[in-house]
Structure 1
Amino acid sequence: MPGTRVYHLIHNYAGPNARLWKNLEFRRGIDALMDRDSITRTVMSGQGVATDNPFPGKREISPAPGPTRQKGTAAALAHFSAAGLSVSGGKVTDSGKPISMTIVTYVARPELPQMAQVLENAASRVGISFKIVTADNIDEYLTQNRSRWDVATYSVNTITRGDGSYFVNGSLAPGGAQNHGSLDDPAVTSLIGSYNTTVGEKPRAGIARRIAATVRDKYYNTYLVSPNETAAYDSSVTGWITLPMSSSTR
């Protein structure tokens, strides 16, 4: 069944390359390098749904589909050029220097290291190098080494309570426990404030959709795929219903 967990890349807006991540066109360039359909088909073996936002599917809090995103090397190079970077011979440089970054991943979710490799390989084609670091405890590493990484693979259950409250406050609000990249957008923060003080399922869902659409359209983090949830049981078992996962992170 479709899951409520989302695999994505966290951008570090307080890291060694914060200046680049704060540039919308640079974020769009990195996004273009990540072929979601290919990742879903190969890394996930088809067991997932590609997504560009934290609330995928047709739930009440899911935003309406956005414009089709360009993908591929040519699209990425166009975005990097628009970001003010130099593009020559299909390679990107920043003030004449090659761009080097660090991506952190972890093996508790075996697909995530493969996604890190996808980014490393795709970025190398445009001259951007990524060093892959594997952390034993991803949350601890990202928190304690914020000045040493640029992007991280991550998995989070975005709809833990069914309404997205845990996710928007933990991952998108300044100081949130899972806001490892130090995202701080006043517009998003204002929407979260309104969300937290609004009563009623439908009004809250409407604000959640606006939050998800804003994060998607500003390319904050790179949401990639929502893995399916599966269960194996003996043929003698009847009436089994697979429920969404209850754990939030990792």
Structure 2
Amino acid sequence: MNAWMRRKRGKWMSLFTLLFAVSFALAGCSQSQEGGGTNGLVREQKSEASGEGDRKKVTIMMNFKSGSLDPSNSYTPLRAGVVETLVRLDEKLVIKPWLASKWEAINDHTWAFTIRDGVTFQDGTKLDAGAVKASLERAVSASKPLSAALKLSSMEANGQELKIVTTEPHPALPSELVSPYASIISVEAEKKMGTKVFNDGPVGTGPFQVKQFTPNIAISLQRYEGYWNGKAKVEEIDFKFNEDGNVRALALQSKEADIVYQVPAETVEAIRQDSSLTVDSVPSLRVHYLLYNQQKPLVQDVKIRRAFDLLLDRESVAKDIMLGHAKPANGPFHTSLPFGSEDAIQSLHAMEAKKLLEEAGYQAGADGKLSKNGTPLVLQLLTYKGRPELPLIAQILQSEAAKIGVDMDVKMVENIDTYLRENKDWDLVTYSNVSAPRGDGGFYLNSAFVSGGALNPSNLSSDKVNEVIARLNATSHVTKRVQLTKEAVVAINDEVLQSFVVYPNNIVGRNKRVTDWKPGADDYYIVTNRMDVK
């Protein structure tokens, strides 16, 4: 490990130790605090341990906050077990029935879905094809990404049978219905409650219903007694949000939280020293990468993008930042997936990067700084703390760029997606997304590389990539889809449309009192009716 990384890890561990001490100092001097703070929850768990409470409860802490529970624009209601989709992925990433018991393609444009009988919304009303139709109509109206993904032309409901007609042949429609944005809610309940109230507590079909929602802080969930797939074993869930990785780790160690998502890699060993806790490090479907703003003339030049790709030390990120809880990336899809790239991992080559910048017209001055026509080469690099390794990746890139005379202004952003939508002044961003959320590469390719896609804030476009994606969208043959996905990846890498850094593991801390639950490669199904506590 280099000296820079040792200093950086030292700062992280010092901060962790300080926060830990402060947390317990506050716990000792603020006995009257209630609500979302550490003290109230510590007292509550002590009460349960002494037998004063007999309700089963689990506290979960997530790394991203949520300001709304509108399922058409938030993954949180699905993750929290409030809503469900027509189909879902199993542990092997195979599409399985959920609210739809079966489906079939009638022709190239038409699908028939049978809606599961005996399911009710959390207000007791029956789920039928008419309710699903109304929900999907609302969803595509509220979500442009979902509308683009589903390509709906019309729907017809008859009892428990829903017929969906698409605007074009759409063999991937069932997999697109895995999307959390396609979660089924009661539109009738929304009409009665009003949209604003409904978005703080949507009425779905899941095992838990919203008791109270404090935007960006927490959701209080209670068991839905009429759940169709078996009443949940746990009666209450506190679903909390905190973007600070060290605070999340402290919450687990202090027993404030039972399940904590994305604990920082450097806290894993300390957590494991507590025999009542464990950490699951599971290969995910996610990729950390550099997103280029190709609306900026500077990074429209493929030589510039290729230069920054060569400045990424992928091996160091996986080993020194992620401490082995990640794998160096060579494309958008994890190498274990059938459509992952087989290319070698790109190594750090600073001098080759400098040579490319010189070919693009930049020359070093007496101070060693690169400039072109008297203008220094300075870029704005955005990052965010929802995933604690991303700011460190930004700092490593900034350090390597400085060595060859390139200045990078690293800017920490509070809400990265909102910032990218509303601002165009950035050049690069350390970004992260689930790239195979449907067990297939089609979603990511369409969302990230097609103009107007949900994951394409810079509106990048490549004629070659678009042509491959069009062929992918027109076929349902699995082997052919794998082949075309690989072809698209080759074109993406050739043009350096994005620079892929690592495939991170899902690092999830858990109190061993939680049973019949484990994290998966997906980020979708967190709260279930099967999870229990000792």
Fold shared, TM-score > 0.5 on shorter chain: yes
Partner residue, 1:188: 465
Secondary structure at the counterpart of residue 228 of structure 1: strand
Partner residue, 1:197: 474
Q: Give the CA deviation at 1:235.
A: 6.3
> Which stretch shows the higher mean deviation, 78-87 or 43-52?
78-87
Q: Are positions 1:48 and 2:48 aligned together?
A: no
> Which stretch shows the higher mean deviation, 161-170 or 74-83?
74-83
Q: Give the CA deviation at 1:149.
A: 0.6
Secondary structure at the counterpart of residue 60 of structure 1: coil
Partner residue, 1:177: 454
Partner residue, 1:219: 496
Give, in whole Å, the separation in 1 of the partners of 2:504 and 2:331. Answer: 14
Give, in whole Å, the separation in 2 of the partners of 1:231 and 1:108. Answer: 14
Give, in whole Å, the separation in 2 of the partners of 1:97 and 1:194. Answer: 43
Read off the aligned partner of 2:491 and give its amino acid letter: T
Give, in whole Å, the separation in 2 of the partners of 1:111 and 1:157. Answer: 16
Partner residue, 2:343: 65
Secondary structure at the counterpart of residue 346 of structure 2: coil
Pick aligned residue for 1:120 from 390, 398, 403: 398
Give the % identical residues: 29
Q: Are positions 1:9 and 2:293 aligned together?
A: no
Read off the aligned partner of 1:156 and give its amino acid letter: N
Report if the CA contact (8 A) 2:449-2:465 is conserved: yes
Structure 2 counterparts to residues 161-176 of structure 1, below 5 A:
161-176=438-453
Q: Give the CA deviation at 1:180.
A: 1.6
Q: Give the CA deviation at 1:155.
A: 0.7
Partner residue, 2:302: 24
Count of aligned pairs between the two proteins? 242
Q: Are positions 1:158 and 2:435 aligned together?
A: yes
Q: Are positions 1:102 and 2:102 aligned together?
A: no
Partner residue, 1:75: 352
Structure 2 counterparts to residues 118-157 of structure 1, below 5 A:
118-146=396-424, 148-157=425-434
Q: Give the CA deviation at 1:56.
A: 2.4
Select the structure with the greater relative contact order (CA < 8 A; seq sep ≥ 6): 1
Q: Are positions 1:245 and 2:526 aligned together?
A: no
Secondary structure at the counterpart of residue 229 of structure 1: strand
Deviations 1:181-236 (A, max 9, x none): 22111111111111111111111111111111211122111110011124455668
TM-score by length of 2: 0.43
Structure number with the higher strand fraction is 2
Deviations 1:116-166 (A, max 9, x none): 1112111122222111222221111001001x1111111100010010222
Give, in whole Å, the separation in 2 of the partners of 1:64 and 1:223. Answer: 14
Read off the aligned partner of 1:31 and give its amino acid letter: D
Structure 1 unaligned residues grouped into runs of 5+ = none
Deviations 1:50-100 (A, max 9, x none): 01210121321112215x635232121112122232245754222232111
Read off the aligned partner of 1:180 and give its amino acid letter: P
Read off the aligned partner of 1:225 and give its amino acid letter: V
Secondary structure at the counterpart of residue 342 of structure 2: coil
TM-score by length of 1: 0.88
Read off the aligned partner of 1:125 and give its amino acid letter: K
Structure 2 unaligned residues grouped into runs of 5+ = 1-281, 525-534
Change (3 A) 1:132 1:237: closer
Partner residue, 2:129: none
Give, in whole Å, the separation in 2 of the partners of 1:96 and 1:128. Answer: 14
Secondary structure at the counterpart of residue 42 of structure 1: helix
Give, in whole Å, the separation in 1 of the partners of 2:339 and 2:435. Answer: 11
Report if the CA contact (8 A) 1:10-1:180 is conserved: no
- Please report the RMSD computed on the Cα atoms of aligned residues, expressed in angstroms: 2.1
Partner residue, 2:127: none
Give, in whole Å, the separation in 2 of the partners of 1:64 and 1:127. Answer: 33
Q: Give the CA deviation at 1:33.
A: 1.1
Secondary structure at the counterpart of residue 54 of structure 1: coil
Read off the aligned partner of 2:316 and give its amino acid letter: S
Give, in whole Å, the separation in 1 of the partners of 2:346 and 2:390. Answer: 22
